[in-house]
Amino acid sequence: MLASYSRCWAEIDTQAISHNVKEVQKLIGQTKIMGIVKANAYGHGDIECARALVECGIDYFGVSSVDEALRLRQAGICENILILGYTPEEHFHYLHEENIVQSLISYSYAQCLNDYAKEKKVKIRAHCKVDTGMCRTGIIYQDQEKNLDEIVSEYQMSNLQVEGIFSHFPVSDDLSKENKDFTSHQIELFHEVIVALKEKGIDPGIRHIQNSYGILNYGDLGFDYCRPGLLYMGVTSDDSIPIESQPDFIPILSLYANVSLVKWIHPGQSVSYGRHYIASKPVKVATISIGYADGLPRLVSNQNLEVLVNGVRCPLIGNICMDQCMVDVTNVDSVHQGDIVCIIGTQNGERVTVDQISRLAHTINNETLSCITARVPRLEKR
């Protein structure tokens, strides 16, 4: 563990990324990995993660916006970058200037991008997004409506270089029969489009459909790329959801704070805003320097979330404040100002996970991790 840093800090173990990538590769055969590093790599540090992924041989990245793509370019990442979402027209110029690949989120959007590229006399790289069931972006290709002509037309646009085709799973995490059937049908529809394009003499380019749960539950589907975000970070969305494979991931993020004050309180004294915790006996309380403005959700207050103080599991008490919260450290013999508290990670062989926080906050790890705020320094473990 690194030396303490300001109030609270996240430690990112980029070494563990290569272990996690190998675990993913065991599941996907020859399929290559497009590393999804959107939203600052879900709070883990996009540039640091992208650099570690490049060292693992990853040659494609996925981001949500042109801003995120430019951050990677400015950091010297020269691999392929696909923008999964929408780029506004006034930012189209970055696409050809910085050699960024744009998702064609609809047919009219592709026309607009092509018109721009024609006017500028440039070719813009793109992937065709096919909507096989998410109903978010892409040309709809579902049982109720199959817009194959539009997909074909995108490939024929004069100033777009359509180098790939992709779709996305909304329920690949769910092993109920209904949702497994839904996902399998999406895979069939995706195959159908690819075959139809080939029959028309069109090379579909690189094909990709699997997110993290698509990899864990559907394995090697024989496509060209898959798009994991969470998995190289060593976690799933929710460790209580059963999955079809048993990968051995190492979570790459740990979260720490400092003890700022230790004191005893008397029976009847209350702790924090709202006075929701009232001591029923003498209690040794440690104030620690992390709060909801760092990303520890206020929603988990008063639910006995355990953190590690000198390796001992101790419950939070009272409401989580903006920059601080309180912990019952009665069971820890020796606690002092400046001691390090582990909120996510391992300390003296004990482990607390992001999953514990996410379950109490009624959310998934994707959200908990990506909501660790910008003021929390990310320190790379070396």
Ligand X SMILES: *Cc1c(COP(=O)(O)O)cnc(C)c1O
Residues near ligand X (CB under 6 A): 36, 38, 84, 168, 211-212, 227-230
Instruction: Return the percent helix, strand and coil in the chain, to nearest 5.
Output: 35, 25, 40
CB of 372 to ligand X, least distance (A): 16
| Residue indicated by tokens 């805003």 | 273
Whether residue 157 is annotated as binding a ligand: the answer is no
Q: Of these residues, 22, 26, 38, 256, which one is catalytic?
A: 38
Nearer to ligand X, 205 or 229 (CB): 229
Nearer to ligand X, 227 or 359 (CB): 227
Catalytic-residue membership of 273: yes
Nearer to ligand X, 170 or 315 (CB): 170
Question: Which residue's C-beta sits nearest to ligand X?
Answer: 229
Distance from chain centroid for Cα 352:
19
Nearer to ligand X, 229 or 234 (CB): 229
Nearer to ligand X, 262 or 361 (CB): 361
CB of 131 to ligand X, least distance (A): 11
Distances (CA, A) of 276 to 182, 260, 273, 317: 45, 22, 8, 8
What lies within 8 Å, CB to CB, of 169 at 6+ separation is: 133, 134, 183, 186, 209, 210, 211, 213, 214
* 71 three-state secondary structure: helix
Q: What stretches of 200-284 show up as alpha helix (H) in DSSP?
A: 212-218
Q: Are the C-beta atoms of 126 and 161 separated by less than 8 Å? A: yes
Q: Of these residues, 22, 120, 198, 273, which one is catalytic?
A: 273
Q: Are the C-beta atoms of 104 and 127 separated by less than 8 Å? A: yes
Rounded Cα distance between 280 and 205, Å, is 66
Rounded Cα distance between 345 and 236, Å, is 15
**Other beta carbons less than 10 A from residue 255's beta carbon:** 26
Whether residue 73 is annotated as binding a ligand: the answer is no
What are the binding residues for substrate? Answer: 136, 322
Q: Catalytic site residues?
A: 38, 273
